Amino acid sequence: MRLSKKYTSEILNHRILIPSQGIFNQRMLTFHPLTISDREAVQAVSLKAGRRNCNYTFANLVGWQFWFHTEVCVLSDAVVLRFNFEGKRAYMVCKAGDLSPELLTALFEDSGENLMLIGLEDSQLQTVKTFNAKYVAWAKPSRNQYDYIYRRDALASLRGKKLSAKRNHVNRFRAEHPNFEYRPLTPELFDECRRLTAIWQEEKEESVTIDAEHRVMETVFANWELLGMTGGCIFVDGRIVAFTYGAAVTTDTFDVCVEKADRHVEGAFAIINQQFAEHLPEQYIYVNREEDMGLAGLRQSKLSYHPEILLTYNTVKINKSYVLERMTADDAQLTVDWMVRQYGFDRHDVESWVRDLHFNWALSVKAIDVDGNVVGLLNMSDYRIEEESSHIAVDAPDLLANLNARRYTAVFSFIVSEPYRGTPLNYDMLNSIMPELKSCYDFVFIPVLRHLKTHQYWQRWGATEFYRDAECVYYKLEL
């Protein structure tokens, strides 16, 4: 299998080199845990910022604070959020217009020089392109987090050919339940909502996320008035069959935070969607029905309502810029130190490997940041497959003979420092030697310890497994 040029170009196109703009003044950011008492200060900025991102809805921020450990810093023109995302520190910034270089510099310093920004809209990416030559940024679209935003009047009227199927669902519900009732959601109806939620949860597998969603809902119910919530519900024969609620995310956009319905009542989801939009104040031109989380069925459902806006988000990582240099035999100790530190190998063992396994220093690469720190290593070696695994000669002698009849070199180690993980630095290092690899070899041999997380990385490059033993999986990347 040849290396996928399409995949490689897509990854590298996300890399943004940042030209110099001089040195900026530092701006101190002071954070504190987000609480409901921050509502007035946060919304004084967020409602006017024009960012329709559902994550800036204050009810969502407060409700999920326990999950993300969200902290906030409110500036005169921006709300800066700091939180835990997949075990790492991340930031979101609600601000009209671009993020200023001063603010980006302060964020970079606060992050410990490993900045991850989540939820940046496409229009905000230009800022990071003109940030500072000392840094490099990567932007990756976050498709599963795109928000689906509709015109409120379209959801309320369901006019037009595109929405005819939705209109039919609503009409069928009306015909089957002519005495249905829409009511505003008020605190005396919360127990009915809890009952319906319990029924809804019975059809779901137990999970930490389901429990978290329940906790969020209870937080919202306990602070309904303070959070400025608006909701609605559908009753059939005196029983609640659907409810929804949300709050303003901007002055012209309403965010639907929760929508639940009895799946045994056909059309319940369609009618609560339509009725809630019909009863929302006319000041709201748009309704944000939030993301699909990558769930195929939910994505299909949201697309079937034909959103006016599919609000695109990007995850951006900013690190110190770097240069790539070829290694020499003088870098042997550097390789030893990194492998001992990163993999926990015995130093004596690693020193013997480096000494005896025919390292190809001319094809080995190191990445050095602007402060002179080594942040990545790619060590190539011309050792043979049977030197890595003694079992293959016994288990698959014909396979080994066929492989050894071809020209190959091996990846001995491929390491990037923690701040650069999840960035294309590793692609940059491998790409830098790709012309020489293709001219001298037929394939690259890649042994990967079973417990490491780099298997998917090599598979994405197009590497295929040809053997495995108790310790390693062995791949070859055709050139």
Cα separation, 133 vs 130, in Å, equals 8
Low-confidence ranges of the chain (pLDDT < 50): 1-26
Cα separation, 327 vs 361, in Å, equals 5
CATH of the domain at 409: 3.40.630.30
What is the sign of the dihedral through the CA atoms of 130, 132, 134 and 135? negative
Percent helix, percent strand, percent coil in the chain, to nearest 5: 45, 30, 30
DSSP secondary structure string, 130-144?
Answer: TS-TTEEEEEEE-GG
Does one domain contain both 135 and 231?
A: no
Does one domain contain both 274 and 189?
A: yes
Domain residues for 176? 147-290
DSSP 103: H
Q: How confident is the model at residue 203, as a pLDDT?
A: 72
Overall domain count for the chain: 3
Does one domain contain both 139 and 45?
A: yes
Does one domain contain both 279 and 349?
A: no
The two tokens of residue 359 are 């390292």
Does one domain contain both 30 and 168?
A: no
Evaluate whether residue 247 is within a structural domain: yes
Does one domain contain both 275 and 389?
A: no
Instruction: Give burial (CB, 10 Å; 0-12/13-18/19+) of 389.
Output: buried
Does one domain contain both 178 and 225?
A: yes
CA distances to 350, 382, 384 from 358, rounded to whole Å, are 13, 5, 9
Phi and psi dihedrals of 20, rounded to 5? -70, 140
Cα separation, 176 vs 37, in Å, equals 46
The two tokens of residue 23 are 């040195």
Does one domain contain both 171 and 257?
A: yes
Cα separation, 54 vs 60, in Å, equals 8
Q: How confident is the model at residue 173, as a pLDDT?
A: 97
Does one domain contain both 118 and 156?
A: no
Nearest to 241 by CA among 221, 266, 258: 266
Does one domain contain both 50 and 168?
A: no
Cα separation, 381 vs 119, in Å, equals 41
Evaluate whether residue 28 is within a structural domain: yes
Three-state DSSP at 205 gives coil
Does one domain contain both 169 and 115?
A: no
Evaluate whether residue 279 is within a structural domain: yes
Q: How confident is the model at residue 207, as a pLDDT?
A: 67
Evaluate whether residue 280 is within a structural domain: yes
CA distances to 129, 145, 223, 475 from 467, rounded to whole Å, are 44, 38, 58, 7
pTM: 0.79
Q: How confident is the model at residue 19, as a pLDDT?
A: 35
Q: How confident is the model at residue 205, as a pLDDT?
A: 67
Nearest to 126 by CA among 322, 316, 310, 311: 316
pLDDT digits (tens, 9 = 90+) for 166-209: 999 999 999 999 999 999 999 999 999 999 999 888 776 666 78
What is the sign of the dihedral through the CA atoms of 172, 174, 177 and 183? positive
Q: How many residues does the chain have?
A: 479
Percent of the chain whose predicted confidence (pLDDT) is above 70: 93
CA distances to 391, 465, 467, 468, 476 from 397, rounded to whole Å, are 9, 16, 12, 14, 17
Evaluate whether residue 11 is within a structural domain: no
